[in-house]
A and B are shown apart, each in its own frame.
Chain A
Amino acid sequence: MSVAILRQGDVLIASVQSDLSDTQVLELRHELAVLVGRHRARGIVIDVSALDVIDSFVTRALRAIVLTARLRGADTIIVGIAPDVAIAMVQFRLNLEPLRVALDLDEALAMLDHRGRRDTEDGR
């Protein structure tokens, strides 16, 4: 498997190590869906900094993972898109909407943390 999934508190961190094939994407989606339930995770961070290219296939795969995780009750944040990759994605009109993006892992954890605190304060 080319994706390592770590658990940090109630956040799952999936680090993509190399380009993903169709089956690997399905595996990753399934794995995350299962782990979210098992660890009662409320956040997922997917690190794509090892990818040199993010094409329409990867974009669609990420979106599918995010939507699946949301149905299981976890927010997903994508991190580690390099500047050139970002430019290429914009030029190919690959929009990551409605995916949330952060610069790096720290940032993503801060975002999830903040959201969690706000949710408890709001009594949700």
Chain B
Amino acid sequence: MDEQRTAEAGKGRSAEPSGGEDDLLQELVAYLRDQRTELREEWAQRISDAELLQVMSDEEIFSEATEVYDNYVDALETGSIENLQAYARELSERIIPRGVETDEVLGIVLLLRDVLARSLFARYQEDLGLLNRILDSYEPAANRIAVTVGVSFVEERERVIHDQQEAIRELSTPVLQVRDRLLILPIIGVLDTARARQLTEQLLGSIRDNRATVVVIDITGVATIDRTVANHLVQTVEASRLMGASTILTGLSPDIAQTLVDLGVDLGMMKTVGDLQGGLEEAERLAGYRAGDADDAETS
């Protein structure tokens, strides 16, 4: 093997690597492969000492360390970070649910960089010129690897957050039909502009599909409300009216009611009822009336 030979050459201190960057890198890689066991152990030790990755057992750390080490050296050798990237992403996928933090991941990668650099110092300390050239080829590659791993981890995290946001958004705006032409829209959590718009669209679509005449919007699950959110609600109600549906707002907590009054939001055109039960009763009364059934209107 070519590397092996270079490694032999590297060990014999007299035989200076003659070529440029590539040869130096080859020698470096061969050296790191050679020292795999010791360096890997030292790294794992430093990780434990630094109290990183405490959610993982020592064995786990050691086996992951082996994987990372090999991938690291491969990436140094080939200059291609794709494998490492894939591995980092897969590793992140495994460790994020266990609560590993970004600073820990960056910490261990930088530790590996340190450990390797130190071993290079130790090996080439007698030949400063060579050490410098080795470091010249080692450092950019090592930095790139550190960045790759860090970014992969953060990206994976962001992907998880994004997925969860999507899931919450999908889950959080169900439009339910409880009676013929009577819809309930329970709102839970925080309303922001994007969600309010999505909610309005979904509600209007359901009004059309179910030919609903009455909609009950229940905001028991909304903790706080501000002027923007209140205006969104007003807009939703107005848009529903344009689709021919009356809207009843229920579940305004004492705090929210007071906030709305203090803000001076005009809810005059909204029909509000204390709780969902009352809202449903009112809705049934309205629906019976609106359906144009004279008998119902008489009995009620």
Contacts and interface: CB of A to CB of B under 8 A. Distances in A.
Given A95-B238, A101-B242, A87 B204 contact: yes
A91 B244 contact: no
Given A83-B208, A87-B204, A90-B238, A107 B294 contact: no
Contacts of A97: 269
B211 A90 contact: no
B291 interface: yes
Interface in A8-64: none
Contacts, number: 70
Contacts of B208: 82-83, 103
Contacts of B291: 110
Interface residues of A, number: 25
Contact of A81 (B242, B289, B290, B294): B242
A79 B207 CA distance: 13
B239 A87 contact: yes
A83 B211 contact: no
A107 B201 contact: no
A101 B207 contact: no
A7 interface: no
B204 A83 contact: yes
Interface in B211-250: 211-213, 235, 238-245
The secondary structure that dominates the A interface is helix
B201 A87 contact: yes
Contacts of B197: 87
Interface residues of B, number: 27
A104 B294 contact: no
B20 interface: no
B9 interface: no
A96 interface: yes
Given A102-B244, A103-B211, A107-B244, A86 B204 contact: yes
B205 interface: yes
Contacts of A96: 241-242
Interface in A65-115: 79, 81-83, 85-87, 89-91, 95-97, 101-104, 107, 110-111, 113-114
Contacts of B212: 103
A53 to B, nearest CB: 13
Nearest to A103: B244
Interface string B183-219: 0000000000000010011001101100111000000
Interface of B: 197, 200-201, 204-205, 207-208, 211-213, 235, 238-245, 269, 289-294, 297
Closest 4 pairs (CB-CB, A-B): A114-B292, A83-B204, A103-B244, A110-B292
